[in-house]
Structure 1
Amino acid sequence: MPSDTAKELYLELLKKTILFEIWLEHEPGATVENRKQGLDWPMIAHSMIGRLRMDSLHQHMNSVLADNIEGDFIETGVWRGGACIFMRGFLKANGVEDRRVWVADSFEGLPAPDEARYPVDRGAIFHEQEFLKVSLSEVIKNFQRYDLLDDQVRFLKGWFEDTLPTAPIEKIAIARLDGDMYSSTMDSLTNLYPKVSVGGYVIIDDYSIGYCSAAVHDYRQAHNIEDPLIPIDTTGVYWRKTKP
């Protein structure tokens, strides 16, 4: 087991690499503040969630280990895989072998709005944005670049409404939802929240997007969830589950 200092140095370097902070001057159009807040769409970096949300994820993972909260880690909507890569690096750095990282994405971009099921998504054009379409093979290759692809990483390829209901996940300690739309967020909450352990965290990456926040409020209201929503930065929020 590495020393605490060596572990923290590795995880800090992993964050800087995933976010491309070390070479930010070579990232077209990037600024320190935008990368901190996760407000830009990087041409090179393996994550667009920014430093504040990455640090928050780190804190949540430390918390579930310290408090022995049972369950795996999952992200729904992974783009180039950076946040999931950091999750796997965190588990490896801490010598954790009994948790998995679930990498859930269509790997084909976002779905077109299904206005019949989710009229809130009317007008959404995320499905037209080629920049958001990152293939499974590219995400796998990114894991390999960090030497973090192994049997503790599991991929769920397809639309959330198809993959999440039957995903062989028993318990979840960290659920990181990054689906932008009402449909993606609601499908994720509906299928995953019941598996989140008490003391586990639900992270909403895109709360500042109206489609997403509407789904969060509707789900929480329908299930009488009163745990406070805590802001992370200008975009993301989280809450910690306190009741079964």
Structure 2
Amino acid sequence: MKRVLMRCADGEVFLAAPPDGEASRAPSMEEMENGVAMHPDADTMVGRPRLDNVQACIESVLRDNVPGDFVETGVWRGGTCVFMRAVLKAHGVTDRRVWLADSFAGFPKPDSRTYPMDAVYERYASFAKGLGESIAVPADDVRARFRGYGLLDDQVRFLEGFFADTLPQAPVDDIALLRLDGDYYQSTWEALEHLYPRLSSGGYCIVDDYWLTTCRKAVDDFREKHGITESVEIIDWTGVYWRKEQ
């Protein structure tokens, strides 16, 4: 499943054409496998280490009977959530849901007055264009990817809209796995503010873009404000996580 989502593994492109472009510009196999770059046809930007982490966290909460659903805030093409649903299916779990929270229309306009660190994202449109890929992926396209894997069912739920509008009243009582991929200070803070209190003891909080100054600052500020002292563990060059103990 990981190989299909990434379109590469074990030093080879998997079920896809080689990346287009000049050799100097095409992503290397090492970059794709480590999530530094991606195959243009991939369902996820997340490399193997972060997918391995998602699997390990899911299997940990299942083994320890930690109550709650799985939530990702910022899903892009939905590949990581597809993987979450696949792990649940592999374990025969039918009483947990995977929630996809996203605008499915790109990033909100940065509120640099309230969140000054996000002023940098006023230039984000040009950065996204440089990626050669639109950040905005319609919800129906994401559903189609789930459907293609035979994984679109009642255990997959969508929270469509900006976090400030959807997360406060999100119909999720208990969360066992919370994965943040919002990039902005504001998006990261809002996800933590509204969802972290619902994270069960023994559940995991995963941060995909801790390397980004804005995201890291929001996480650090939130942890300090709420006296969160659980150790932050490194996944790879960008991802971190911790397990909620209380």
Partner of 1:18: 5
Select between 82-91 and 115-124 the one with higher mean Cα deviation.
Answer: 115-124
1:113 deviates by 1.1
Partner of 2:167: 164
Find 1:40's aligned residue among 37, 41, 56: 37
1:127 deviates by 4.9
What does 1:118-157 correspond to in 2, within 5 Å? 118-124=115-121, 125-127=123-125, 129=128, 131-157=134-160
The letter of the residue matching 1:27 is P
CA RMSD of aligned residues (A): 1.3
Q: Is the 8 A contact 2:16 2:41 kept in 1?
A: no
Find the aligned partners of 2:114 and 2:190 in 1 and give their Cα distance. Answer: 11
Partner of 1:202: 205
Find 1:219's aligned residue among 205, 222, 238: 222
Partner of 1:10: none
The letter of the residue matching 1:156 is L
Q: Is the 8 A contact 1:111 1:127 kept in 2?
A: no
The letter of the residue matching 1:196 is L
Find the aligned partners of 1:159 and 1:150 in 2 and give their Cα distance. Answer: 23
Aligned-residue sequence identity (percent) comes to 47
Q: Which runs of 5+ in 1 are unaligned?
A: 1-13
Q: Are 2:53 and 1:56 equivalent residues in the alignment?
A: yes
The letter of the residue matching 1:15 is K
Find the aligned partners of 2:16 and 2:143 in 1 and give their Cα distance. Answer: 24
Partner of 2:242: 239
- SS where residue 167 of structure 2 aligns? helix
- SS where residue 174 of structure 1 aligns? strand
1:172 deviates by 0.3
TM-score by length of 2: 0.90
Q: Is the 8 A contact 1:71 1:197 kept in 2?
A: yes
Q: Is the 8 A contact 2:82 2:151 kept in 1?
A: yes
Q: Is the 8 A contact 1:64 1:200 kept in 2?
A: yes
Find the aligned partners of 1:198 and 1:32 in 2 and give their Cα distance. Answer: 38
- SS where residue 234 of structure 1 aligns? coil
Partner of 1:5: none
Counterparts in 2 of 1:24 and 1:37: CA distance versus 1, 3 Å: farther
- SS where residue 83 of structure 2 aligns? helix
Partner of 1:27: 19
Detail structure 1 runs of 4+ shifted over 2 Å in the superposition: 125-130
Partner of 1:230: 233
Find the aligned partners of 2:124 and 2:159 in 1 and give their Cα distance. Answer: 20
1:217 deviates by 0.4
TM-score by length of 1: 0.91
Find the aligned partners of 1:222 and 1:49 in 2 and give their Cα distance. Answer: 29
1:36 deviates by 2.3
- SS where residue 73 of structure 1 aligns? strand
